[in-house]
Structure 1
Amino acid sequence: MAKPRVTAGGGLSAVRYVLRKGVEAGGFWKLYQRLRLRNTCKTCALGMGGQKGGMVNESGHFPEVCKKSVQAQVADMQSAISEDFFRSTPIAYLESQTPAQMENFGRLAFPLLAEPGDTHFRRVSWKEAFDRTGEAFKLAEPSKVFWYASGRSGNEAAYLFQLVARAYGTANIHNCSYYCHQASGVGLARIYGSGTASIVLEDIAKADFVMVIGANPASNHPRLITQLVNLRRRGGKVLVINPLREIGLVKFRIPSDWRSMLFGSDVSDLYLQPKAGTDIALLKALLKGVLERKAEDREYIENFTSGWEETIADIEAASWEELT
């Protein structure tokens, strides 16, 4: 097997990426000012400081920023696409582009229309756009319409989106989490009473063990890696369960941390790579191991869980041979 060319996530490649995006934004200082505004990061659930300003976490730690946040901000800072672009660019060409290439064309600043048989988009007035939209709204009953938005929408856009939907007469409103997290949302709601996460940043700061399963935070929310590295530095343990060996979950160079940047930081103490589809068996095996070592918290189980006896019976009925 060939050795990977990259031995750690983050590092100089992440710094170079941010510098390139700074040039695209019209200058690094301009990008920095935008990132420092009071806002929430619209790229993942690991929050920004809100009223404390950008580039900090909820606890006020500075600097906190990642490539995904930079990418999203720079995309919003692009110039508007000109009307000439749409006159000269056929729809067939636009259909051949990737989402990233489409985003790099710039921002939409006026309504566009393409009717059946048209080869190009053409600009229309806002009045015509609103009139056509209003007529489309009349074609269906509000109770039969589903409003679906991007999870990357900013808070302001999301608020206005749902406001229009409710003014139209429906509460059938959702975003991409309806598909991406439907299964986990139902499962979490049955277990914890809420379809969203039950922890906050402070919980990780106080934890001595974290299990990362079904996620790749090194790519999807890299600022979480800082929390995992800090946990290990204070003596905690990190278990990663992932069929793929993600480089960033093995070692990461955190640009805002000089020690990590110079030497790299180990992210996981143990990295398990189960075969795809065997996650239930693995979790049962972990629970079986806890029970055999009598390491379960009986007081917690009695006060905060239900169905424990049924779970025990199921675990005891499974042999190690079946689970492994």
Structure 2
Amino acid sequence: MAGDDDGDAADRGAIPSGGWGSIRAVAGILAREGHAASTTLALRRQNKDGGFMCVSCAWAKPSPPHLAEFCENGAKATAWDLTSARITADFFARHSVTELEGWSDHALEQAGRLIDPMRWDPNTDHYVPATWEEAFSAIGTALRTTAPDMTVFYTSGRASNEAAYMYQLLARLYGTNNLPDSSNMCHESTSVGLPQAIGVPVGTVTLDDFAQTDLIMIFGQNTATNSPRMLHQLEDAARRGVPILVVNTLRERGLDYFVNPQNPLRMLAHRPTPIATRVYQPRPGGDLALLAGLCKQLLEWDDAESLIDGVPALDHAFIHEHTHGFADFVRAMKAHDWQTIVRRSGLSRTAISEIATFYRNATKVLGLYGMGLTQHREGVENVRMLASLLLLRGNIGRPGAGICPVRGHSNVQGQRSVWITEKPELVPLDQMARLYEFSPPRHKGLDVVEAAEKVIGGDVKAVIQLGGNLVRSLPEHTLLIPAWRRLELTVMITTRLNRSHLIHGRAAWLLPCLSRVEIDRQASGPQIVSIEDSTSCIHASRGLRQPAGTNLRSEPAIIAGIANALLPPNPHVPWQEWVADYARIRNAIAATYPEWYADYNQRLNQPGGFYRGNDARQRRWKTASGKANFLPLASLEADPDMPAPQDGFVLVTVRSNDQFNTTVYGYDDRFRNVKGTRQVVMMCPDDMAARGLEPGATVVLETVADDRVRREVTGLRIVPFDLPRGTLAAYYPECNALLPLWHRARESHVPAAKSIPVRLRPAAST
């Protein structure tokens, strides 16, 4: 049980999320990046009507908003974009690409904003200035001589709906569905599992549900680091007495306590609000067995006709009216024995029964989850099992209840909703064919992992990146990096320098774009763009700062420039008219799929944005059975392709509170007591004692895999941490080199980064 006052927090050594630590961190980055006064003014308009939407996480934007509707990482992301530092031609003249490869991730991005198009010169190994016309012409010429299916169009989660729509149309007019995106590396297990279970690829929860729920269950999601603004909703729920159960392999201190920076009295008194009612720490991948155990316990109570206040353990009326496959699901659950459930979950039978009791005693339950569920070999099974647990008591399509995948990057859900996907069956291709009078490709494209495999195999020749840091994000660096350098063409549409710009193809272009925070002036005047948050609400975003440079172009303008240089003229695709007025892009999106986007421009002006809609929330099930589906679970092992070695550990990769995705803002992680470095491995003190290891000892991690590929990371310093025995944790992306490409979710191909079998050895033995 979390303590109920600041004294308990101090006794346990807990470091609350929010509070003065967060304020100091924000003040530090504002001072470091420059423009502190004007950036502070900009933050007042972040995530608010008439302002700009955060370029960091995708958590929901309430209406009305809080006084400061940004979190520590959101403020860091804005300061990062509004930095006073600039990368000019002189910078690249002074530093070769080979030299820059030796810089840290943090140092590369902190060099500043890119402000001019640049071309890599193979004769000098320097990036050199180019004009936009030269860039578009060269890219168009190279792509015209490359087979469309040997080209990959990657998108990070920052692109607006308008840019993403144009980008996917560019790829399909070119002739490919190779449209992987950052969702392939995190929530693709959601996009596959939820449609099978409830008929929609996104969550069913809105912010209103947090105010009505009577139980919140959080699985594998570190809220305080990855979506801190959610702490407002969790704090409100905790103060109402709503139990909040946290299921996570790492005990994350930021979810124990929260000091709301917008509550002056609590800030002055330093009185944290306890957030987590209980914390349960399964072994890596143990959530699958735990979820099966919770379902099994409910079924056993139902068999015994056990009642609480006259209410049975299951919602039989809901199951009968709204679900399919219940009998087969029951048989599968009964076949799993308790001994195996306990062993594979890493939790005791008592702990599992305790969670089940909390669940049974509640009538409106929210099931939240992150990559702790999705990034496993059976990540899709994890998602389906959580859906089944909620279905057993009718907790989908009920106010105050539902399933909530917590998305990462700011518009990763929105760009999927405007058809950034490699799966043609998810795209309204017939309507696009009518609107633009072309024959769209109908074959499946490449997802991120498949694209990486094709690069390694030499079957991809060109990669276009709309944002992101793809090479750094991907696994299998030993094989991937040399292959990436053999690509014929790499094109990076970006705001700042990162490692993917240094590991490039034989021809490489850096195309600098406007940030979402900056004013985007086009022929019809300043433009707005739109993004979709994790709860399917679409918001307008208006830039308010002057651009970092006069030669920057917007993402839609850059996409149109490539399209005009690459594609034959098509009078039905008005690229330049779209760039002149983004409202016309939104009209095109609405014409493509009016069910979601009718009256797009008019609805976008609604305070708080507009809700795109969700059939499962209304208990309309767009599945093959016409109902929500219980899907049997064959195995309780979430990662059967890479079992933990007898003499080794299972590694979980994590992010620090001083980073967002691959962007590293600094080297301190105050929630984990790490200072000045990211080259650490977190370890259970009992495991340290058993191996005679002291804090600060330097070790090497090596992947346990019999495939003749050497994967290791050296120079990691041991930090004691609250983890189950046999478990290690280390930072992403530094430990991506340990993850094989083939260790991925079976159905969704999400890299299984939350369960990597490794051996640890002292550095002296290398």
Q: 1: CA distance between counterparts of 2:266 and 2:213?
A: 21
Maintained 8 Å contact 2:14/2:256? no
Maintained 8 Å contact 2:54/2:78? no
Maintained 8 Å contact 1:11/1:254? yes
Taking structure 1 as reference, are residues 68 and 164 closer, same or farther at Cα in structure 2, changes over 3 Å only? farther
Q: 2: CA distance between counterparts of 1:163 and 1:75?
A: 30
1:183-232 CA distance string (max 9 Å, x none): 22101121122222221111122111111002111100011122112111
| Alignment of 1:27 onto 2:36 | yes
Q: 2: CA distance between counterparts of 1:59 and 1:304?
A: 35
| Alignment of 1:312 onto 2:330 | yes
1:291 alignment partner in structure 2:
299
Aligned pair partner of 1:8 in 13, 16, 24? 16
1:65 alignment partner in structure 2:
70
Describe the SS at the equivalent of 2:65.
coil
Q: 1: CA distance between counterparts of 2:43 and 2:245?
A: 36
1:227 alignment partner in structure 2:
233
1:130 alignment partner in structure 2:
136
| Alignment of 1:40 onto 2:30 | no
Taking structure 1 as reference, are residues 163 and 45 closer, same or farther at Cα in structure 2, changes over 3 Å only? same
Shift of residue 129, structure 1, vs aligned partner: 1.0
Shift of residue 116, structure 1, vs aligned partner: 2.9
Give the gaps of 5 or more residues in structure 1. 49-56
Q: 2: CA distance between counterparts of 1:189 and 1:150?
A: 23
Aligned pair partner of 1:244 in 250, 274, 281? 250
Q: 2: CA distance between counterparts of 1:159 and 1:274?
A: 41
Taking structure 1 as reference, are residues 266 and 6 closer, same or farther at Cα in structure 2, changes over 3 Å only? closer
1:54 alignment partner in structure 2:
none
Describe the SS at the equivalent of 1:146.
strand
Q: 1: CA distance between counterparts of 2:298 and 2:40?
A: 49
| Alignment of 1:275 onto 2:283 | yes
Give the gaps of 5 or more residues in structure 2. 1-10, 303-312, 343-766
Maintained 8 Å contact 1:113/1:124? yes
Taking structure 1 as reference, are residues 19 and 309 closer, same or farther at Cα in structure 2, changes over 3 Å only? same
Write out the 4+ residue segments of structure 1 that deviate beyond 6 Å after TM superposition.
none
Taking structure 1 as reference, are residues 75 and 95 closer, same or farther at Cα in structure 2, changes over 3 Å only? same
Letter in 1 for 2:68: P
1:71-106 CA distance string (max 9 Å, x none): 221222124312111111121221122333222111
**Stretch of structure 1 that moved more, 140-149 or 208-217:** 140-149
Shift of residue 267, structure 1, vs aligned partner: 1.2
Taking structure 1 as reference, are residues 99 and 193 closer, same or farther at Cα in structure 2, changes over 3 Å only? farther
| Alignment of 1:300 onto 2:313 | no
Q: 2: CA distance between counterparts of 1:284 and 1:258?
A: 44
Aligned pair partner of 1:149 in 134, 155, 171? 155
Taking structure 1 as reference, are residues 30 and 42 closer, same or farther at Cα in structure 2, changes over 3 Å only? closer
Letter in 2 for 1:119: D
Describe the SS at the equivalent of 1:263.
coil
Maintained 8 Å contact 2:117/2:132? yes
1:78 alignment partner in structure 2:
83
Maintained 8 Å contact 1:7/1:247? yes
Q: Which protein is richer in strand relative to its size?
A: 2
Taking structure 1 as reference, are residues 101 and 288 closer, same or farther at Cα in structure 2, changes over 3 Å only? same
Shift of residue 283, structure 1, vs aligned partner: 0.7
Q: 2: CA distance between counterparts of 1:192 and 1:25?
A: 48
Shift of residue 126, structure 1, vs aligned partner: 1.8
Aligned pair partner of 2:95 in 68, 89, 94? 89
Shift of residue 179, structure 1, vs aligned partner: 2.5
Describe the SS at the equivalent of 1:21.
helix
Q: 2: CA distance between counterparts of 1:119 and 1:83?
A: 14
Q: 1: CA distance between counterparts of 2:276 and 2:328?
A: 33
Q: TM-score, normalised by structure 1?
A: 0.88
Taking structure 1 as reference, are residues 107 and 255 closer, same or farther at Cα in structure 2, changes over 3 Å only? same
Maintained 8 Å contact 2:249/2:283? yes
1:188 alignment partner in structure 2:
194
Maintained 8 Å contact 1:210/1:237? yes
1:103-157 CA distance string (max 9 Å, x none): 2111111111123343221112222111111112202344553311111334554
Shift of residue 252, structure 1, vs aligned partner: 2.1
Q: 2: CA distance between counterparts of 1:269 and 1:233?
A: 11
**Stretch of structure 1 that moved more, 245-254 or 144-153:** 144-153
**Stretch of structure 1 that moved more, 116-125 or 267-276:** 116-125
| Alignment of 1:110 onto 2:116 | yes
Aligned pair partner of 1:209 in 210, 215, 238? 215
Taking structure 1 as reference, are residues 308 and 197 closer, same or farther at Cα in structure 2, changes over 3 Å only? same
Q: 2: CA distance between counterparts of 1:74 and 1:126?
A: 27
Describe the SS at the equivalent of 2:218.
strand
1:42-80 CA distance string (max 9 Å, x none): 2222133xxxxxxxx244333321122112212221243
1:53 alignment partner in structure 2:
none
Letter in 2 for 1:76: D
Say how many residue pairs are matched: 314
Shift of residue 240, structure 1, vs aligned partner: 0.5
Q: 2: CA distance between counterparts of 1:123 and 1:97?
A: 22
**Stretch of structure 1 that moved more, 234-243 or 70-79:** 70-79
Q: 1: CA distance between counterparts of 2:201 and 2:221?
A: 17
Shift of residue 308, structure 1, vs aligned partner: 1.2
Q: 1: CA distance between counterparts of 2:170 and 2:22?
A: 39
Taking structure 1 as reference, are residues 322 and 206 closer, same or farther at Cα in structure 2, changes over 3 Å only? same
Maintained 8 Å contact 2:157/2:182? yes
Describe the SS at the equivalent of 2:29.
helix
Q: 2: CA distance between counterparts of 1:61 and 1:35?
A: 10
2:714 alignment partner in structure 1:
none
Letter in 1 for 2:36: G
Between 1 and 2, higher relative CO (CA 8 Å, sep ≥ 6) is seen in: 2
Shift of residue 166, structure 1, vs aligned partner: 4.9
Q: 1: CA distance between counterparts of 2:13 and 2:128?
A: 46
Describe the SS at the equivalent of 1:215.
coil
Q: 1: CA distance between counterparts of 2:98 and 2:150?
A: 33
Q: TM-score, normalised by structure 2?
A: 0.39
Maintained 8 Å contact 2:116/2:129? yes
2:458 alignment partner in structure 1:
none
RMSD: 2.4
Maintained 8 Å contact 1:83/1:123? yes
Taking structure 1 as reference, are residues 122 and 69 closer, same or farther at Cα in structure 2, changes over 3 Å only? same
Q: 1: CA distance between counterparts of 2:235 and 2:218?
A: 13
1:52 alignment partner in structure 2:
none
Shift of residue 28, structure 1, vs aligned partner: 3.2
**Stretch of structure 1 that moved more, 169-178 or 68-77:** 169-178
Q: 2: CA distance between counterparts of 1:259 and 1:213?
A: 32
Describe the SS at the equivalent of 1:228.
helix
Maintained 8 Å contact 1:8/1:247? yes
Maintained 8 Å contact 2:259/2:273? yes
